Amino acid sequence: MSRLIALPLAVLCLAGCPAEPDPVNEPDPVVPLEPPPTELGFQLTMFTTAPAGTEVWRCEVYDLPTTDLAAVNWVEYQQNPGTHHMTLSTLGLTPDSTIEIGQYDCQDLYGDSSLMQDQIMFFGAQGTDQDTMHLPEGVAANFPAGLRIIHEVHYVNTTAEPVDLYSRVNAWTIPQSVVEEQIWGGQVRDETISIPAGETVTEWTRCVMNRDVEVLFLASHTHELGIEFTVAPFDGTTTGDIFYTNDDWHDPKIIQYDPPLVIPAGQGFEYACTWRNDRDEDVSYGLESTDEMCNLAIVHTPMDLNALCEVVETSDGVLWAP
Q: Which of 182, 213, 247 marks a domain boundary?
A: 182
pLDDT value at 28 more than 90: no
Q: Which residue has the higher pLDDT, 166 or 18?
A: 166
Q: Which of 150, 182, 214 marks a domain boundary?
A: 182
Give the helix/strand (H/E) hosting 106: helix 106-110
Give the range among 3-17, 20-34, 298-312 with minimum mean pLDDT.
3-17
117 in the same domain as 48: yes
Q: Count the domains in the chain.
A: 2
Domain of 243, CATH number, reads 2.60.120.230
Q: Is residue 138 part of a domain?
A: yes
- The residue segments making up the domain with residue 42 are 5-182
Q: What is the pLDDT of residue 93?
A: 57
193 in the same domain as 100: no
Chain-wide mean pLDDT for the chain?
Answer: 85
Distant-in-sequence, close-in-space partners of 198: CB < 8 Å, separation ≥ 6: 277, 278, 279, 280
Q: What is the pLDDT of residue 21?
A: 40
Residue-wise pLDDT tens digits, 87-139: 888 876 555 557 889 999 998 888 765 666 666 777 877 778 998 888 999 99
**Percent of the chain scoring above 90 in pLDDT:** 58
Q: Is residue 64 part of a domain?
A: yes
Query: Model-level pTM?
Result: 0.73
116 in the same domain as 82: yes
301 in the same domain as 156: no
